[in-house]
Amino acid sequence: MSKIVSIHSYRGGTGKSNSTANLAATVASYGYRVGVVDTDIQSPGIHVLFGYGDGEQLEPCLNQYLWGKC
């Protein structure tokens, strides 16, 4: 059975991305499949915590879908 966990805060800098990345890595270490969706439309950044640099083009991404580009 699938489970969905949502992490949210109205304020920036509260540790949402770090908490999400750590929770995802911990659950994955137990052998479960994990998907992470960064819904910070203006400044997505969780990809950096997983080792993808800011300069790398990640496609397709949520913004491209929302803008109708994919």
Q: Cβ of 17: how many Cβ atoms within 10 Å? A: 20
pLDDT, tens digit, for every residue of 1-36? 889 999 998 888 899 999 999 999 999 999 999 999
What is the 8-class DSSP label of residue 54? T
Give the predicted TM-score (pTM) of the model. 0.77
* 57 within a domain of the structure (yes/no): yes
pLDDT in the model for residue 19 = 94
**H helical segments located in 1-70:** 16-29, 46-49, 62-66
Residue 59 within any structural domain of the chain: yes
Q: Which of 69, 24, 68 is nearest to 46 (CA)?
A: 24
DSSP state of 34: -
Domain count, the chain: 1
Instruction: Say if CB 20 and CB 36 are below 8 A apart.
Output: yes
Q: Has residue 35 been placed in a domain?
A: yes
Q: What is the DSSP letter of 51?
A: T
Q: What is the pLDDT of residues 41-59, one digit of tens each?
A: 788 888 888 888 766 677 7
Which residue would you say has higher pLDDT here, 61 or 6? Answer: 6
